[in-house]
Structure 1
Amino acid sequence: MDFDLSVFSSSQAWVSLLTLTFMEIVLGIDNIIFISIIVSRLPRELQGRGRTIGLTLALLFRIGLLLSISWIVGLKAALFTVELPWMEGPFGVSGRDLILLVGGLFLIGKSTTEIHTKLQGEEEGDHASGKGTTSMRSVIFQIILIDIVFSFDSILTAVGLVDNVLIMILAVVLSMAVMMVFSGVVADFVNRNPTIKMLALSFLIMIGVMLVMEAFHKEIEKGYIYFAMFFSLVVEILNMRLRKKTTPVHLRDSQYD
């Protein structure tokens, strides 16, 4: 591992740091969404503490994985092989595949449960009154489980972009600092708007499906996923603005002029 500070004497190192920091922030959006939704199950006075603990754990996981890069690379090696009917030849199952599979299934299951709860008519006042809340221990356990998956994905991206561990660690710390600053704003926005929360849960299901597919070596270009998320969010924000108007918007049509 290279911790030589002289690496920052080159402009390439600073470009790598900024690029990786931006990538870590983008990859951390789904983590913030998940933490915000899970933490909303806590009493209101504990939600800020829960978000801080969740993001701090994510930071520690990422730094720990960066200091164990050789172990991460080893996770790509097949642990055993299985015969799958839709694949030609034996399928090698690695530690990475198992982590992605468990994490993807957990995301799908948890998000589906949350959507079902919303459709059953959960009241917004339940959390404030203490109803429908869960314990801090349960929330932290769920955050730890999904942090492992998101951290793993994040570090694989970092390893692919940069070969200097110090740059990776600084990028992770900077991205986490940015996410901690804005996590409260994101959480309040999601929790204040039920339709945005439903959209966020749908995003998590989509990410869960993507993780499961990656576990079976079916890669999906992440750019398509993030573009779909961004486009859907923009459309929903436009819908929110439209619903706030007192009079409907009429588009001009030449036949009525």
Structure 2
Amino acid sequence: MSLHFFEHGAQRLQEIVQPGMLCAFDFDGTLAPIVKDPHRASVPSAVLRRMTILSELARVAIISGRSVADVGVRLDFLPEFVIGNHGIEGLPGWEEKASRFQALCAGWEQQLRHAMTDRTLFDGGIWIENKTYSVSVHYRLARNRLDAESRLLDLFSALAPAARVVPGKCVFNLLPVDAPDKGTALAQLCVASGAPGAIYVGDDVTDEHVFTMRRRDWLTVRIERSGDSAADFYIHHRLDMVQLLDALIGQLASFKAPSWRQSEQTVMTR
């Protein structure tokens, strides 16, 4: 069971924070609030300021369901790594499978759009987002979400070739069955960067792929408490990210500027 970070996580944070560590975050629902129209998502200024400071103190990674390009235009700081499409896009060697993944997603999109022309079965509030290497089917705007969920799951089961279906908050994500997930992505980034440990913060089912790895050299935090989450800790709300980032920055600031990124530390102002 996850523990409340601000009550029980201080000692663990001290243990995990060290020079060269990797600080990794989901985007939607973690750095940015979830909105009805995903194209309007943005990171609040208080979080952006702290992420800018953090990127000067440690290696920072964003691991998102969005494409790499989509995440990049929403940031005012420069992470060392941006991984898109739930861990598929941007990992070392991912280009070798890119064309096959793209073809799979194009085929799924075609099948889905054809099936959803039947408005007696599928609500007009359901919409498809082809992210090139994964496909997201959003139903937040459906009049009856439970009915939409059921009909979509039946539809997904008939897709050919088969897709790996990962649910989210009013969205289903369709991924190639052999595609890496966020947990695989974070593990590969740790190896590639030589990071001695990592902290990961996320809020969704796709982030459980990180949480369930249960590595002793990782500290994992889930936004909002969930009884079946495998995260080490939780915070009550995304608004608590500011306090969490302050705690992380405070620990990292006790070390000298890392040799891999010599820069003058910025003084944080609220």
Scaled to the shorter chain, the TM-score interval is under 0.3
User: Larger helix proportion, structure 1 or 2?
Assistant: 1
User: Larger strand proportion, structure 1 or 2?
Assistant: 2
- If the length of structure 2 is used for normalisation, what is the TM-score? 0.25
Higher relative CO (Cα under 8 Å, sequence separation at least 6) belongs to 1
Q: Which has the larger radius of gyration?
A: 1
